[in-house]
Amino acid sequence: MWFLCVFYHRLLDFRKPEVEALAELFGEEIAENESLQWRLPENHHNDTPFHFVQLSSEEIARNIAKRSILVKGMYELWGEGTCYEELQDSIQSYPDSRKLPFLTSGSTFRISVETFGKALTFEEQKDRIQSLTYIPFEGRVNLKNPDHNFFLMEMIESEENNGLQPILQRRIFFGREVGFADRKLLPTFQLKSRTYLGPTAMDAEMAFLMANQAKATLGKLVYDPFVGTGSILVSAAQFGAMTMGADIDIRVVRDGRGPDCNVWSNFKQYGLPTPVALLRMDNNLPPWRSGLKEIFDAIICDPPYGVRAGGRKSGGRKILRGTVDPYTVPDDKRADHIPSTGAYSLVECVHDLLHLAARMLVMKGRLVFFFPVLRDETGGEVKFPEHPCFKLVAVSEQILSSRYSRVLLTMVKVEPYSEEIEEAARLMHLEFRENHLRWLEDGNIHSSVFKPIDSSQIHTDPKTFKDPKPKYRGKYV
Amino acid sequence: MRLIVHNMLSCNIRGVVNKFPLRIEPEKVIVKEVDFNPDFLKHMIAKIDWKALVDGARSMGYPELPDHPPTTLESDESFLRKFHHSLLELNLEEGSLVCPETGRKFSVNKGIPNMLLHEDEV
């Protein structure tokens, strides 16, 4: 059946993928190579908060809404129209068998009015509610804790606003609430109240979205190879998953800022189970035993892509360049020796991540990670990393500046890990090792993000210069 | 460090052949309670190197695991409890993991194994 799915007007690109991932999690049967059916209301464009989605049961719709971060509510639509007369016709022609069970005399109800694009005064809201007398409500009103919640939602036509596309036609919806989102999680988990933070700690809302993309739930094992302060794993643990994290920086994972301010304390703060493991290792030279595979249900991470924080791998700068040979550490200094690390290029980092995921994820396991994209590369399609074991199922862009954005990629493991894949990864690893410098140059995003503006662009008249992509996603929403 | 992780790790120094399992040299072992989830355990048992787990638990002072896991897990809750305790609740807080071939020690400090290699081992 079709449900009206109303979203918060935030992170527009993330909204449908979240619902799709949660639908799978809650048991919606989706055939292979197919996805959920979506439909737009008449005269709406894709960025509207109102969408219709087809789900097999009310229970699934309720569960999705309850767990989701961006769904404001799921509704059974009773009627819609461009004006109140049309709405009345539409509600009256909706079958009584669907309506009457929710209007009985023993029940309580409430009607709320919501608008998008304009605020209504209390009087205007009251008038609108009272115009609904043609619906035979038999029950009593209960504003605090009603059995049935009804919503009258109005989207008012508007000019282009803050880069948002104009809304062409007013549209009114009336529906019964099936489920709504619990965004109370967000103030509880907001970063400003987190005890241990790093410079790239993942924002709580985004971390929950990532955990939803990964379908984190009770009894699943979720791994973050760039764990840092654990901000992504905290959200997975909140949804019941067991967590495990690794980092190359031992100060972050082991010490933090003291006994009550470290990765462990970030979990204890919310009464969550601490990770089953934290360890220090190099993703470029992972210490996994041979034969170990298919052990994680999901891998979620924000790899260091060299803008806010750069990746590191084993081997010093000069060793990796080949100008000096690796030095031998004297035996008496071995115990406390701090091995040197060198820059870890984004391409190599992503290559290692995909290989890790191909090997260590169970079949149908999910790899969810951020990938940076330069925005001024207009024209051509952006090429995302690919791997023979994986199918890309969701791409959600978050614009960070006029220069670059980060894209949340969700991949599902569809092919088993094989010896050929292992061998190909080994050869690629050697290639990276031998041509360290060239790969470091290739795909260096830091310089592109921070380079001065090209002089040819300065002479362009700012009025005629049109940003090829709308900015509101990052700036206003 | 819990034994679930010990079971995943090996010594990855270049050229080393006999790299698993790492021998545990405990200095301080603590027990941290974890919620019991039979489904998770049944899923894990197929992925675990059983001998490494039994030896690891013994070296941390818990000799209760059988040499071979029972073939039917469904009804055997007492076994699953022992497996759960060994895999997830025993914690090596301080100590070392020792490579069986080279004797290289990977220290475990505040529960965090340090698996990073020195320059001449890469």
Q: What domains can be seen in chain A, in order of their start residue? A: 2-183 (3.30.2130.30), 186-450 (3.40.50.150)
More confident residue, A453 or A242: A242
* A90 band by pLDDT with thresholds 50, 70 and 90: very high
- Specify the pLDDT at position A261: 92
Which residues from chain A sit within 8 angstroms of residue B120, using beta carbons?
A: 326-329
Strand-pair category, A108-116 with A140-141: parallel
Using the predicted structure, report yes or no on whether residue A427 has a pLDDT greater than 80.
yes
Using the predicted structure, report yes or no on whether residue A229 has a pLDDT greater than 50.
yes
- Specify the pLDDT at position A67: 96
Least confident of A156-165, A463-472, B65-74: A463-472
Using the predicted structure, report yes or no on whether residue A474 has a pLDDT greater than 50.
no
B interface test, pick of A276, A284, A299 with most B CB neighbours within 10 Å: A276
User: What is the distance between the alpha carbons of residues B3 and B24, in angstroms, rounded to a whole number?
Assistant: 10
Return the ∠ at Cα A387 (arms to A384 and A393), rounded to 5°.
60
Of all residues in chain A, what percent are helix, strand and coil, respectively (each to 5)? 30, 25, 45
Structure tokens at A286: 């992972």
As a whole number, mean pLDDT of residues A89-117 equals 94
The count of CB pairs under 8 A between chains A and B is 105
CB contact under 8 A, A277 and B5: yes
Structural domain boundaries of chain B?
3-116
- Specify the pLDDT at position A456: 55
Please answer whether residues A194 and A231 qualify as being in contact, where contact means their C-beta atoms are separated by less than 8 angstroms.
yes
A interface test, pick of B8, B92, B109 with most A CB neighbours within 10 Å: B8
Using the predicted structure, report yes or no on whether residue A321 has a pLDDT greater than 90.
no
Amino acid at A264: W
Residue A269, classed as helix, strand or coil, is coil
* A477 band by pLDDT with thresholds 50, 70 and 90: very low
More confident residue, A436 or B16: B16
As a whole number, mean pLDDT of residues A116-121 equals 86
Instruction: HSE, CB side, 13 Å, CA atoms: give it for residue A219.
Output: 9
Return the ∠ at Cα B32 (arms to B51 and A360), rounded to 5°.
50
Dihedral sign, CA of A316, A251, A309, A305?
Answer: positive
Using the predicted structure, report yes or no on whether residue A44 has a pLDDT greater than 90.
no
More confident residue, A314 or B85: B85
Percent of chain A past pLDDT 70, that is, above it, reads: 90
Structure tokens at B87: 């895999």
Q: Please tell me if residue B37 touches chain A, with a CB cutoff of 8 Å.
A: yes
Residue A79, classed as helix, strand or coil, is strand
Residues A358-404 have pLDDT tens digits of 999 999 999 999 998 887 655 567 789 999 999 999 999 998 887 78
CATH for B3-116 is: 2.20.25.10
Q: Distance (Å) from the C-alpha of residue B14 to the closest C-alpha of chain A?
A: 10
Choose among A244, A278, A329: nearest Cβ to B120: A329
- Specify the pLDDT at position B13: 92
Output DSSP code: residue B86: I
Q: Please tell me if residue B33 touches chain A, with a CB cutoff of 8 Å.
A: no
Using the predicted structure, report yes or no on whether residue A476 has a pLDDT greater than 50.
no
- Specify the pLDDT at position B70: 85
User: What is the distance between the alpha carbons of residues A362 and A476, in angstroms, rounded to a whole number?
Assistant: 39
More confident residue, A345 or A248: A248
Residues B26-48 have pLDDT tens digits of 999 999 999 999 989 988 998 99
Spans of chain B, pLDDT less than 70: 74
Neighbours of A394 (CB within 10 A): 21
Structure tokens at B30: 């603590």
Nearest in space to A300 (alpha carbons), one of A368, A228, A347: A368
Going through A69-182 in order, the beta strands assigned E by DSSP cover 71-81, 108-116, 140-141, 148-155, 171-180
As a whole number, mean pLDDT of residues A226-249 equals 95
- Specify the pLDDT at position A405: 86
Return the ∠ at Cα A435 (arms to A429 and A436), rounded to 5°.
85
Residue carrying the six token digits 């993000």: A449
Going through B1-122 in order, the beta strands assigned E by DSSP cover 23-31, 90-98, 105-109, 112-113
Dihedral sign, CA of B72, B2, A191, A404?
Answer: negative
Using the predicted structure, report yes or no on whether residue A331 has a pLDDT greater than 80.
no
Least confident of A4-13, A88-97, A153-162: A153-162
- Specify the pLDDT at position A475: 39
Please give the mean pLDDT across all residues of chain A. 87
Strand-pair category, A148-155 with A171-180: antiparallel
- Specify the pLDDT at position A330: 78
User: What is the distance between the alpha carbons of residues A410 and A88, in angstroms, rounded to a whole number?
Assistant: 42
More confident residue, A217 or A181: A217
* A125 band by pLDDT with thresholds 50, 70 and 90: very high
Neighbours of A331 (CB within 10 A): 7
Q: How many residues does chain B have?
A: 122
Using the predicted structure, report yes or no on whether residue A318 has a pLDDT greater than 90.
no
Percent of chain A past pLDDT 90, that is, above it, reads: 62
Q: What are the residues of chain A with a beta carbon less than 8 Å away from any beta carbon of chain B? A: 218-219, 221, 242, 244, 248, 250, 253-255, 273-274, 276-282, 285-292, 294-295, 314-316, 319, 326-329, 334-335, 337, 339-340
Please answer whether residues A42 and A86 qualify as being in contact, where contact means their C-beta atoms are separated by less than 8 angstroms.
no
CB contact under 8 A, B112 and A254: yes
H-assigned helices in chain B: 3-6, 38-45, 50-59, 77-84
Residues A446-462 have pLDDT tens digits of 777 776 665 555 545 55
Please answer whether residues A50 and A74 qualify as being in contact, where contact means their C-beta atoms are separated by less than 8 angstroms.
no
DSSP β-bridge partners for residue A7:
A71
Residue A324 is inside which H or E element, if any?
A: none
Using the predicted structure, report yes or no on whether residue A473 has a pLDDT greater than 50.
no
